[in-house]
Structure 1
Amino acid sequence: MRREQSSAEAAAIRHEDNGVGEVRTSVLRATFASRLGQTLIGNKYHTAPIKIAKAFPLDGQLGVIVMDVSPGLLSGDRYELEWTAEQHSHVMITNQSYTKVHPSLPNSDSSMQQLFELETDAVVEHMPEPIMLYKEAAFRNDTQVRLQKGSAWLQADVLCPGRTLRGERFDYRSYSNSLTVHYGEELIFSQRQRVVPGSQVITAPGSWDEMTHWATFYMFSDRVNSSHLEQLQEKLDSFEAPEAHKVIGGASMTYRYGVAVSAASTAAWPLQQLMQELWQTARMGLLGKPPLRFLQG
């Protein structure tokens, strides 16, 4: 069990000076445990403005909603989230609204760092709302996943190029995204993406072309096999995109124990719908569980 920080320690890590402005670090840590067939929060710790707003049982698993009581990530903000799922626990994690990234000062940025630690036979489904990059935003997003035998980690995310209704399209300064997955001590997946609209030809063929929004769906477990790839590819092929927003996508097996799906469109909501359907397909195919309905209606 990790030692909890004192209030003095928390204050010390929240305010630092990196030479270009104040850096504010906010922390959220939670451990999930399985007790008598139901997953519960074993312990949790947070510093403002992020916290667990609500947790509720969902037929043997736990649903968790994360709240950010600020307007979003401002220049210099650092969010550090650590999730530990103990043996046989099963949790679904989401948030209340879009992750809004505000403009960054010159030579500064904002960032989010997440660590998912899954013990034997634990399941984590991470289904956050889309990321919204405001004009002049600079954002680093880093996710690390550590799996053990029988555990499973699923994630769907959507990236928006700006507030398109205000005419913002790729007006952000930079976006860096990384995902690393370990199975035991072995690195089984590593992905890095860096978008700098001001110095890249975003609309070039083979780049974003006419697309503006990007989505990914990941599923990692030692239980994953080619049949799960086929199920997700079938869902991609049968997805009915709206006439005004074409959706293109593809799925592939990863080096070990995983399936990755990428999709692009010209709006967030068709991709959100696609991610929802892929998630439902994965839940049934990998976990043998029906869709969760609490996010609908």
Structure 2
Amino acid sequence: MATDAPGEGEPGDREDEGAPHPAFAGYAAEPVPQAAVGSPGKDGVLELRFERGERGTALSHDYATVPFHVSGTLGHDPHPDAETVFVQSPTGGVAQGDRHDVTVRVDADAVAHVSTQSAMKVQTMRANYAAAETRLSVGPGGHLDYVPEPTILHEGARYHASLDLDLAAGASAVLGEVLVPGRLARGERFDFERCLSQVRATGPDGLLFEDATHLAPGDDAGGPGPTAPGVLGEFAVYGTLFVVAPDAALSSDDLHDVVAAACADAPNPARGGATRLPNGAGVAVRVLGDRGETVSAGLHSAWSAARRELLGAPAPAGRKY
């Protein structure tokens, strides 16, 4: 999806929302009883741009509207030239009718890590739905780690997340996501209505891969639910990591072997595995478990192993407080 680079034009200037995904078209017609879709506080915008300078990577542009907040950067990355941004939120979570628009640009030879300060709670919904559109671009020789904290889907939640990654020649990225199907400590499990997470990655020669996770325990169609064999089975929490490095010095097969070995060491009772992405794009990792922290730890092991091969430095520590 084409987009203006961060900093070009007026901050927060966006095209009108496009047509919703067919799975969410019925929800979109439902009026929101409180603040309407697109009103202040509902239509959040986040823009980040990283550039490489004489002292390494720097955050050269940032713009945020509620529910996003950026307090600056943290220089704690094990890579000497990398920069880190933890995106904060002053709200209680994602509510019905929210629309979030995130753009992250990493320029040539820059190394950036973007995450969130805490888990994102997708609240109970009685009308409409919530959506997040994320666009990531990495310039020649650059690298981006986009690994937010887990997404917790409360009872009745309806959530659509789409992520588009565009890589220039010699660029790489690591994308992570953990989905928690409810407030597990209070016995809430797969009580959300629908969650669709889509990822699309392109390179200089076009499409690299597309992936979608569509879980609909509230669907009346009667299809197999998330706990069915071949879906999540006896597990609850689902994690995905994409190591996208089509031009890495390490071959796709060798990168797969390194990441697969890290998955084999995932902490019990998590179960993880790795597979090669099409078009020599890199490696996909799936981890299943009963708790968010266990799945996150499994993904972190794979992320750290991949990062050592790509950048010569491990993944940053997960502690954010």
- TM-score, L = length of structure 1: 0.90
2:244 partner amino acid: F
Q: Please list the CA deviations of residues 94-118 of structure 1 after superposition, one character each: whole Å capped at 9, or x if unmatched.
A: 1111011001223x10011110011
Give 2:102's aligned residue: 81
Residues 36, 191 of structure 1: CA spacing in aligned structure 2 closer, same or farther, 3 A cutoff? Answer: same
Give 1:4's aligned residue: 10
**Could you tell me how far apart the structure 2 residues matched to 1:212 and 1:112 are?**
23
Give 2:150's aligned residue: 130
Kindly state the Cα deviation for residue 239 of structure 1 after the two structures are TM-superposed: 2.8
Aligned Cα RMSD in Å?
Answer: 2.0
Which of 204, 228, 242 in structure 1 is aligned with 2:228?
204
Which of 290, 306, 310 in structure 2 is aligned with 1:266?
290
**Could you tell me how far apart the structure 1 residues matched to 2:217 and 2:30 are?**
26
Give 1:103's aligned residue: 124
Where 1:27 maps in the other structure, the secondary structure is strand
**Could you tell me how far apart the structure 1 residues matched to 2:8 and 2:71 are?**
22
Where 2:278 maps in the other structure, the secondary structure is coil
Spell out structure 1 runs of 4+ moving beyond 6 A.
none
Which of 263, 270, 279 in structure 2 is aligned with 1:247?
270
Where 1:197 maps in the other structure, the secondary structure is coil
Task: Answer yes or no: is 1:165 the counterpart of 2:185.
Answer: yes
1:52 partner amino acid: V
- Across the two proteins, how many residue pairs are aligned to each other? 286
Give 1:193's aligned residue: 213
Kindly state the Cα deviation for residue 180 of structure 1 after the two structures are TM-superposed: 0.1
Task: Answer yes or no: is 1:183 the counterpart of 2:203.
Answer: yes
Residues 253, 37 of structure 1: CA spacing in aligned structure 2 closer, same or farther, 3 A cutoff? Answer: farther
Task: Work out whether residues 259 and 306 of structure 2, in 8 Å CA contact, stay in contact via their aligned partners in 1.
Answer: yes
Where 2:118 maps in the other structure, the secondary structure is coil
**Could you tell me how far apart the structure 2 residues matched to 1:219 and 1:283 are?**
9
Q: Please list the CA deviations of residues 230-251 of structure 1 after superposition, one character each: whole Å capped at 9, or x if unmatched.
A: 011111223341xxxx222221
**Could you tell me how far apart the structure 1 residues matched to 2:154 and 2:69 are?**
23
Where 1:206 maps in the other structure, the secondary structure is coil
**Could you tell me how far apart the structure 2 residues matched to 1:72 and 1:81 are?**
16
Task: Work out whether residues 27 and 79 of structure 1, in 8 Å CA contact, stay in contact via their aligned partners in 2.
Answer: yes
Residues 26, 207 of structure 1: CA spacing in aligned structure 2 closer, same or farther, 3 A cutoff? Answer: same
Q: Please list the CA deviations of residues 94-153 of structure 1 after superposition, one character each: whole Å capped at 9, or x if unmatched.
A: 1111011001223x1001111001111111011211000000000001100000111111
Q: Please list the CA deviations of residues 223-277 of structure 1 after superposition, one character each: whole Å capped at 9, or x if unmatched.
A: 1521110011111223341xxxx22222111112210011111111111111111
**Could you tell me how far apart the structure 2 residues matched to 1:134 and 1:118 are?**
33
Task: Work out whether residues 94 and 130 of structure 2, in 8 Å CA contact, stay in contact via their aligned partners in 1.
Answer: yes
Kindly state the Cα deviation for residue 213 of structure 1 after the two structures are TM-superposed: 0.5
- TM-score, L = length of structure 2: 0.84
Q: 1:215-254 alignment to 2 at 5 Å?
A: 215-221=239-245, 222-223=247-248, 225-241=252-268, 246-254=269-277
Question: What is the aligned-residue identity percentage?
Answer: 22
Q: Which runs of 5+ in 1 are unaligned?
A: none
1:273 partner amino acid: A
Give 2:81's aligned residue: 60
Q: Which runs of 5+ in 2 are unaligned?
A: 1-6, 18-27
Q: Please list the CA deviations of residues 1-33 of structure 1 after superposition, one character each: whole Å capped at 9, or x if unmatched.
A: 520247xx68x99xxx96612112110111110
Task: Answer yes or no: is 1:31 the counterpart of 2:52.
Answer: no
Give 1:69's aligned residue: 90
**Could you tell me how far apart the structure 1 residues matched to 2:215 and 2:30 are?**
25
Task: Work out whether residues 90 and 123 of structure 1, in 8 Å CA contact, stay in contact via their aligned partners in 2.
Answer: yes
Give 2:61's aligned residue: 43
Give 1:155's aligned residue: 175
Which has more strand, going by share of residues? Answer: 1
Q: Please list the CA deviations of residues 265-294 of structure 1 after superposition, one character each: whole Å capped at 9, or x if unmatched.
A: 111111111111111111111211134247
Task: Answer yes or no: is 1:213 the counterpart of 2:240.
Answer: no
**Could you tell me how far apart the structure 1 residues matched to 2:299 and 2:94 are?**
24
1:39 partner amino acid: T
Where 1:56 maps in the other structure, the secondary structure is coil
Task: Work out whether residues 54 and 66 of structure 1, in 8 Å CA contact, stay in contact via their aligned partners in 2.
Answer: no
Q: Please list the CA deviations of residues 48-84 of structure 1 after superposition, one character each: whole Å capped at 9, or x if unmatched.
A: 1202233123421101110111111011011111001
Q: Please list the CA deviations of residues 144-189 of structure 1 after superposition, one character each: whole Å capped at 9, or x if unmatched.
A: 0000111111022211010011111000010001000000250111
